Homo-oligomer: A and B are copies of this chain.
Amino acid sequence: MKLIESVPNFSEGRREEVVRQIIEEAQKYERVKILDWSMDFDHNRSVVTLVGEPEEIETAIFDMVKKATELIDLRSHSGEHPRMGATDVIPFIPVMNTTMEECIEISKRVGERIGKELNIPVYLYEKSASSPDRENLAKIRKGEFEGFFEKIKDPKWKPDFGPDQVHPSAGVVAVGAREYLIAFNVNLGTNDIKIADKIAKAVRHISGGFRYVKAIGIELKEKGIVQVSMNLTNYKKSPIFRVFETIKREAQRYGVPVLNSEIIGMIPLKAAIETMKWYLQLDDFDEERVIENKILNTFFE
């Protein structure tokens, strides 16, 4: 079985019936499943996590964008989270038996359809970006919905697909392929935030650490401890076990114990199996040898 994940963000976090109608579009597809969805009132934004087979998820996402375009009007939208579109951003993520290349292709096909059929300007971002300037979502979104009516006139910001004019109510949308992101936090047995900061600095890319790690030190005041809070943006290349072992070693340096750690949300099976393989020194093992995964693949062979 081939699986791709998508996590579209919609600019509606207050009217639940609107979000439900958008989700219903995806529920029509047998081989697409909603793993999770959440609304945030203050951000006035909702995030849906779905997984499915490549062809079905491609069509399901388009149907959701179409519905969001009908139901959300950015002219009357306000919220804390920056946004530029009724559907604000659509990432595609390879999860199982699929490659980044397939996700890039899907993002381009969906983007083209959104541009043509819904008349919404589309910007390809991350791995799908047509230039390095467009890799970073925040850079594309700068100026937001209101600012885009001017921004789009700049030849540098000509959309990858769709018209050269902002959609009056639905704005513009970013579509792209990216790696699976793991949110991973490590709790330290100290209340000294300086130590969490130093360790975050040691492991994060920007200050000389691992290529695909973003990290900050934060205080958990009610617990009286500090935490190294991370996003692992490519668990295949900067794996969770190597980052964790480095943090443990750095904490030792300060005479501080690692109390425990936490993974927020879900992970792909591969991330768990690679962790087990490394610690148990297994040279020859892979996901195909996990019974549940074999079953999943066998039921859909």
Hey, which bits of chain A sit against chain B, CB under 8 A?
3, 5, 33, 35, 51, 95-96, 240-241, 244, 258-263, 265-269, 272-273, 275-276, 279-285, 287, 289-296, 298-299
Partner of A284 from B262, B279, B281, B283 at Cβ < 8 Å: B262
A261-B282, A279-B275, A282-B260 in contact; A292/B241 too (CB < 8 A)? Answer: no
**Neighbouring B residues of A280 by C-beta, 8 Å:** 240-241, 244, 261, 263, 275
**Neighbouring B residues of A269 by C-beta, 8 Å:** 269, 290-293
Nearest Cβ distance between residue A135 and chain B, in whole angstroms? 25
A280-B275, A298-B33 in contact; A289/B265 too (CB < 8 A)? Answer: yes
A279 in contact with B282 (CB, 8 Å): no
Partner of A294 from B35, B284, B285 at Cβ < 8 Å: B35
Expressed in whole angstroms, the Cα–Cα distance for A289 and B268 within the complex equals 9
With A262-B283, A275-B275 already in contact, 4 other A-B pairs whose C-beta atoms are closer than 8 Å: A3-B291, A35-B294, A244-B280, A296-B299
Expressed in whole angstroms, the Cα–Cα distance for A266 and B35 within the complex equals 27
A281 in contact with B263 (CB, 8 Å): no
In the complex, the chain B residue whose C-beta lies closest to that of A33 is B298
Nearest Cβ distance between residue A97 and chain B, in whole angstroms? 10
**Neighbouring B residues of A258 by C-beta, 8 Å:** 281
Nearest Cβ distance between residue A129 and chain B, in whole angstroms? 25
22 A-B pairs with C-beta separation under 8 A: A3-B292, A3-B295, A5-B291, A33-B298, A33-B299, A35-B291, A35-B294, A35-B298, A95-B291, A241-B280, A260-B282, A263-B289, A266-B290, A266-B294, A267-B291, A268-B292, A269-B291, A269-B293, A272-B273, A275-B276, A275-B279, A287-B292
**Neighbouring B residues of A287 by C-beta, 8 Å:** 292
**Neighbouring B residues of A268 by C-beta, 8 Å:** 290-292
A261 in contact with B281 (CB, 8 Å): yes
Nearest Cβ distance between residue A268 and chain B, in whole angstroms? 5
A276 in contact with B266 (CB, 8 Å): no
Nearest Cβ distance between residue A30 and chain B, in whole angstroms? 9
Expressed in whole angstroms, the Cα–Cα distance for A44 and B96 within the complex equals 39
